[in-house]
């Protein structure tokens, strides 16, 4: 927060949020900045940057930089293999998921508010809602339902619109629909459908002035960043991590064979590390 204040002491006319400040500096709209972010994210994260690395190495190998091209190709193949095996995925994800333990009934308050952060959804409206929500969104909802039945009928607040302005979907509305199908009364559900990222989730929850204690539900790998944002905004929350993806299987020889699931897990971990670094850099916690 201090970094943001330092910037505004020199440039008082800049917008108040870091993303708005960057948009202002580059002379683009906030929507254009969000689209640019989505493009850069896909280029920086696997498999995007791995494909770029292989393309560069392949191109160089046909030019006068043949030796360098072969080295880049070898590095790209090595990284692709390492990020696609379970030991690497678990090694990357475990430090994130071990920050908070699952919320057991002994630590769960009887009253309060369950806050669920959305985790992605598809705009394909011809599919059933159970197929439109991502695995992360679905598992977060299931944890909310589990905790709901252990508490005295708390309110469930779902926060999240769409992180991609090119996709017209309100993730929290779809999650509400699934909660209704699972038997949660509509009067116990509140949705916030404008936030586009974790920081905006926190700002929106802050404005709702919910009844404490607040139980924060999100994926275990995302919990550290989300909880830090809430804490910075002055929201006292009880972490309830779910959607654990690290699966240590020391006796399984197949863990050294590449798989798409392991690559997705490695990508999720790298994304969280980069997201935490970016939030710290821009003064969001």
Question: Quick one: pLDDT at residue 149?
Answer: 96
Are 135 and 243 contacting, i.e. CB atoms less than 8 angstroms apart? yes
Same domain, yes or no, for 187 and 115?
Answer: yes
Same domain for 155 and 275, yes or no, is: no
Q: Is the peptide bond before 171 cis (omega within 30 degrees of 0)?
A: no
Domain that holds residue 30: 2-96+254-281
Indicate whether 112 and 183 sit together in one domain. Answer: yes
Q: Which two tokens stand for residue 167?
A: 């996709």
Asked if the structure places residue 149 within a domain, the reply is yes
> 247 lies in a domain?
no
Confidence (pLDDT) at 39: 86
Q: What is the number of domains present in the chain?
A: 2
Cα angle 37-42-43, degrees, rounded to a multiple of 5: 95
Closest CA to 103 of 120, 89, 115, 118: 115
Q: 120 with 196, same domain?
A: yes
Distance of alpha carbon 8 from alpha carbon 15, whole angstroms: 9
Contacts for 208 with CB less than 8 Å, ≥ 6 apart: 157, 190, 192
Q: Based on the domain organization, do 187 and 124 belong to the same domain?
A: yes
Residue 140 to residue 152: CA distance in whole angstroms: 19
- Adjacent-strand bridge partners of 214: 113, 237
Q: How many CB atoms lie within 10 A of CB 194?
A: 14
41 part of a folded domain: yes
Q: How far is it, in rounded angstroms, from Cα 118 to Cα 104?
A: 22
Same domain, 83 and 108: no
**DSSP H/E element including 118:** none
Is residue 173 assigned to a domain?
Answer: yes
Report the alpha-carbon distance of residue 165 to residue 178 in Å, rounded: 23
Q: Are residues 53 and 129 in the same domain?
A: no
* Residue 145 to residue 250: CA distance in whole angstroms: 33
In a structure prediction context, what are the per-residue pLDDT tens digits for the chain, which is 285 residues long? 344 443 333 333 334 444 455 555 556 676 777 778 788 888 999 999 999 999 999 999 999 899 999 999 999 999 999 999 999 999 999 999 999 999 999 999 999 999 999 999 999 999 999 999 999 999 999 999 999 999 999 999 999 998 777 778 999 999 999 999 999 999 999 999 999 999 999 999 999 989 999 999 999 999 999 999 999 999 999 999 999 998 776 678 889 999 999 999 999 999 999 999 989 988 888
Residue 47 CA to its chain's centroid (Å):
17
90 and 106 housed in the same domain: no
- Assigned token pair, 32: 């254009």
What is the per-residue pLDDT for 175? 98
Domain membership of residue 249 (yes or no) is: no
Residues 58 and 155 in one domain: no
pLDDT the model gives residue 33: 72
User: What per-residue confidence (pLDDT) applies to 176?
Assistant: 98
- The verdict on 76 and 151 lying in the same domain is no
With contact defined as beta carbons under 8 Å apart, do 163 and 222 qualify? no
Res 165: pLDDT: 74
Q: In what order do the strands lie in the sheet with 237-242?
A: 189-192, 155-159, 113-117, 214-219, 237-242
Same domain for 195 and 144 = yes
pLDDT attached to residue 235? 96
Q: Measured between alpha carbons, how far is 94 from 245 in angstroms, rounded to an integer?
A: 9
What per-residue confidence (pLDDT) applies to 230? 97
Pairwise CA distance, residues 89 & 263, whole Å: 7
């Amino acid at each position: 927060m201090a970094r943001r204040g330092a910037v505004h002491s020199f440039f008082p006319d800049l917008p108040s949020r870091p993303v708005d400040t960057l948009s202002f500096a580059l002379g683009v709209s906030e929507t254009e900045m969000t689209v640019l972010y989505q493009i850069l994210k896909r280029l920086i994260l696997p498999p995007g940057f791995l494909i770029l690395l292989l393309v560069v190495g392949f191109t160089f190998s046909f030019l006068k930089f043949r030796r360098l091209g072969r080295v880049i190709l070898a590095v790209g193949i090595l990284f692709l293999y390492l990020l696609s095996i379970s030991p690497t995925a678990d090694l990357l994800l475990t430090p994130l998921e071990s920050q908070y333990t699952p919320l057991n009934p002994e630590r769960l308050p009887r009253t309060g508010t369950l806050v669920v952060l959305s985790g992605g959804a598809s705009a394909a409206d011809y599919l059933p809602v159970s197929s439109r929500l991502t695995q992360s969104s679905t598992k977060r909802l299931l944890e909310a339902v589990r905790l709901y039945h252990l508490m005295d009928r708390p309110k469930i607040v779902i926060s999240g619109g769409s992180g991609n302005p090119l996709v017209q979907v309100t993730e929290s509305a779809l999650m509400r629909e699934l909660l209704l199908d699972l038997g949660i009364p509509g009067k116990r559900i509140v949705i916030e459908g404008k936030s586009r990222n974790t920081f905006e989730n926190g700002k929106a929850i802050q404005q709702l002035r919910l009844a404490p204690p607040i139980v924060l539900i999100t994926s275990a790998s995302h919990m550290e960043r989300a909880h830090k944002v809430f804490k910075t905004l002055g929201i006292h929350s009880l972490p309830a991590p779910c959607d654990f993806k690290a699966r240590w299987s020391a006796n399984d020889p197949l863990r050294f064979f590449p798989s798409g699931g392991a690559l997705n897990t490695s990508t999720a971990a790298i994304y969280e590390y980069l997201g935490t670094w970016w939030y710290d850099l821009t003064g969001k916690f």
